[in-house]
Amino acid sequence: MRDTPSNRLWSATTRLTGVLLLTWALVSVLGPWFARDLNQWQVLGFPLGFWVAGQGALLAYLLIIVICIVRMEHLEARYQRESAERDRQALDALAPPAVKT
């Protein structure tokens, strides 16, 4: 794959998407799966397994989305900078700067 700003953005995006989806899947499946075992511990006065499924996982979902927003906006801003830079270079290559008199 050519190393262009758009390819760089897309491969970073898919990597981030993979990590976020994996976290999402772990939270969604492991939390409830082991809820019975987690219930032996207490958090904030709740049995842990019940708390994870009723509140903890929801907070985790919000956190995942916030990370997604922050990282993606960062990546897209970098892409905009890089592609603007590339366009400028391409233009420069087309028309060499006028010689100063």
Partner 1 sequence: MIGRRYILFLLGFATLLGVMAAAESAGLPRSWIGATFLVVTVGVYACIGFLCRTADEAEYFVAGRRVPAMYNGLATAADWMSAASFIGTAGVLYLHGFAGLAYILGWTGGYVLLAVLLAPYLRRFGQYTVPDFLGARYGGQLPRSIGALSAVAVSFVYLVVQIYGVGLITSHLTGFSFELGIFVGLGGVLVCSFLGGMRAVTWTQVAQYIVLIVAYLVPLTWLSVKQTGNPLAALSYGVQLERNAARERQLTQDPAELEVARRQSELAAEAERKLQDVRGAMARDAQLQTQRIAELRAANAPLLQVQRAEREFVQRPRSEDEARARYEREHERALERAAPLAGMPPQTLPFATGDPTGDEASRQRFDTERLNFIALLLCLMMGTAALPHVLTRYYTTPSASQARRSVGWSLFFIMLLYLAAPTLAVLVKYEVLHNVVGLPINELPQWVGRWSKLDPNLLSVRDLNGDGLLQLGELAIGGDIVVLAAPEIGGLPYWVSCLVAAGGLAAALSTADGLLLTIANSLSHDIYFRLFRPRAAAVSRVIASKMLVMVVALLAALIAALKLTDILQFVSAAFSLAAAAFFPALVLGIFWRRTNRAGAVVGMLTGLGVCSWYMASNLPLLRRFLGITRPLADCQWFGIEPIAAGVFAVPAGVLVMVAVSLLTRAPDAAQLALVDRMRVPAPDER
Query: Using the rule CB under 8 A, which residue among 15, 26, 66, 85 binds partner 1?
Result: 66
Question: Which residues, at least 6 apart from 7, have a Cβ–Cβ distance to it below 8 Å?
Answer: 1
Alpha carbons 51 and 39: distance in angstroms, whole number: 9
One character per residue 22-51, x = contact with partner 1 (rule: CB under 8 A): --x--xxx--xx-xx--x----xxxx-xx-
3-state secondary structure of 43: strand
Residue count of the chain, please give it: 101
By CB under 8 A, is residue 54 in contact with partner 1?
yes
* Cβ 51 vs Cβ 31: under 8 Å: no
Token pair of 49, please? 């397994």
By CB under 8 A, is residue 53 in contact with partner 1?
yes
Chain contacts with partner 1 (rule: CB under 8 A): 5-6, 9-10, 13-14, 17, 20-21, 24, 27-29, 32-33, 35-36, 39, 44-47, 49-50, 53-55, 57-58, 61-62, 64-66, 68-69, 72-73, 76, 79-80, 83-84
